[in-house]
Chain A
């Protein structure tokens, strides 16, 4: 089982993700420069947070033209696991691997704080070790995390049980007050139709050690590692 972390110019959570996979999950992991195109040795990819290409044009818009992205699309199309965190989620939306778009936060602020998300489904490789309705305390750090999509896309996401995380109160209630950025339906993370590609705005890699204030994020990486171990 080998994890790959894709590094774009401007990625800045790549080392956090590397640390979590190598030290907390205890699996082999390597960085992949955005100009590399050979992903054959990897079983799962992480597109980390940061400001790829300085967020020029739109967040994630220019990263999708990096050479590695064609390989990522092929990797995803053949069932490979792709996890996009924050800027990684924005890139996956821009690349068309996930539906919808992430626009400027409702109140214009860059928000950096710990908050709560509820696990909406355990039917993904990233949440199958969790119970639906359980609450994770994970930080967000973004200015463009306001998830938008049209009515038909939202209906499809709901019908196919593809809304994986939603912003919630500490007790688990999904309320407008718990929605930090104006995201439609309090969406914090979604997966694709075949459930192997997940994008989320919160940073689970920043919440994998008690020393950092929460270790709730570890469950996401552990679920993925357990899935990989089962299919191996």
Chain B
């Protein structure tokens, strides 16, 4: 089958529709396999939410609130803008250990503790 694919690449004019069909099917199968392997490898996901601490000025949130009100919504007390991160984890490490690592990532990289709070969620 592989040689047929090669042949298709080398002299396309001489290859029948059937050979092309087989090559395409093969490629689709390979893609499905790769996807399955990847899915199996990333079976744990961490979600990190970063938000400004209460009291820290959020001019972007204020601008968004203003736009929402212009759209016709009333009764919006406040809008605060934050950040959301998805971290896909490759190995099946123990959940407590993953939580500890991701919490450290959230504290030391994803947030600035002077102005921001973070929340970590681990999804199996």
Contact = CB atoms under 8 A, between A and B. Distances in A.
Do the two shown chains form a genuine complex with each other? yes
Interface of A: 57-58, 61, 65, 93-94, 99-101, 103-108, 146, 148-150, 182
Interface string B108-124: 01101011000000000
11 contacts: A57-B110, A65-B109, A94-B112, A101-B114, A103-B115, A104-B57, A105-B59, A106-B57, A108-B59, A146-B57, A149-B114
- Size category of the binding interface on chain B: 10 to 19
B59 A106 contact: yes
A-B residue pairs, 9 tightest by C-beta: A101-B114, A108-B59, A101-B115, A104-B59, A101-B112, A58-B112, A103-B115, A106-B59, A148-B115
Contacts of B115: 101, 103, 148
A99 B110 CA distance: 18
B41 interface: no
A108 B112 contact: no
Given A104-B58, A148-B115, 11 more contacts: A61-B109, A61-B112, A93-B114, A94-B112, A103-B56, A103-B57, A104-B60, A105-B59, A107-B59, A108-B59, A182-B57
A183 B44 CA distance: 42
Nearest to B81: A104
Contacts of A58: 112
Contacts of A108: 59-60, 63
Contacts of A57: 109-110
Contacts of B114: 93, 99-101, 148-150
Nearest to B108: A65
Contacts of A101: 112, 114-115
Nearest to A149: B114
B114 to A, nearest CB: 4
A149 B56 CA distance: 10
A61 B63 CA distance: 24
A94 B112 CA distance: 7
A180 to B, nearest CB: 14
A182 B115 CA distance: 15
Interface string B48-68: 000000001111100100000
Most B-side CB within 10 Å, residue of A58, A61, A99: A58
B85 to A, nearest CB: 10
A61 B111 CA distance: 9
A99 B114 CA distance: 9
A94 B110 CA distance: 12
B103 to A, nearest CB: 17
B23 to A, nearest CB: 41
Contacts of A65: 109
